[in-house]
Amino acid sequence: MKSSLKFTLLASLLMAAGFAYSQAPMGGGDCGNMMGQPGQGMNHMGQMDPAKMQAMFDKRHAAQKAQLKLTAEQESAWTTFTTAMRPDAGMMANRPDPAEMAKLTTPERIEKMKSIREQHVKDMFAAMDRRGEATKVFYATLTPEQQKVFDATAMPRFGKLHGAREGRGMGRSPKP
């Protein structure tokens, strides 16, 4: 009797935590509301509008380019680098057709979703590899001073991205 009560309480707690997590707004910090509510640049699935994503991409890279103070000889390497870093629209559009999915049995839908997920992971790793190689090639064209600037600006730090450095991350209120 006691073990079934513990199991029920644990299951209820996990369900409540999962529901709370799924309802919590995400994003914040220096990136604005990347994962927000519809009407704030998001669609009904919580995905950012591609035009807004492109604008953020362009703004971030323009700021980084200004900080790097590139020479004329480095411009072509910069263009190649930023082109490789662009979000892959094909990966974002790879969603199953709801009408097609409705025709499948549950086991067939599970297998279809598994296949789509596996392809998505392969595509994601290929894109990460492509971006990594483009970054290394571009980095090699930079002077040691520019490399230091690039190292400091290339990737948002996790804590900064989510506001933890300012005390906003992980549910904490801002520091006074």
Render pLDDT for 76-124 as a digit per residue (tens, 0 to 9).
999 999 888 887 766 666 678 889 999 999 999 999 999 989 988 998 9
Looking at residue 16, its pLDDT comes to 52
With b for 16 or more beta-carbon neighbours within 10 A and e for fewer, the 99-119 pattern comes to: eeeeeeeeeeeeeeeeeeeee
Looking at residue 140, its pLDDT comes to 94
Angle at alpha carbon of residue 79, lines to 74 and 85, rounded to 5°: 125
Which uninterrupted H or E stretch holds 6?
A: helix 2-23
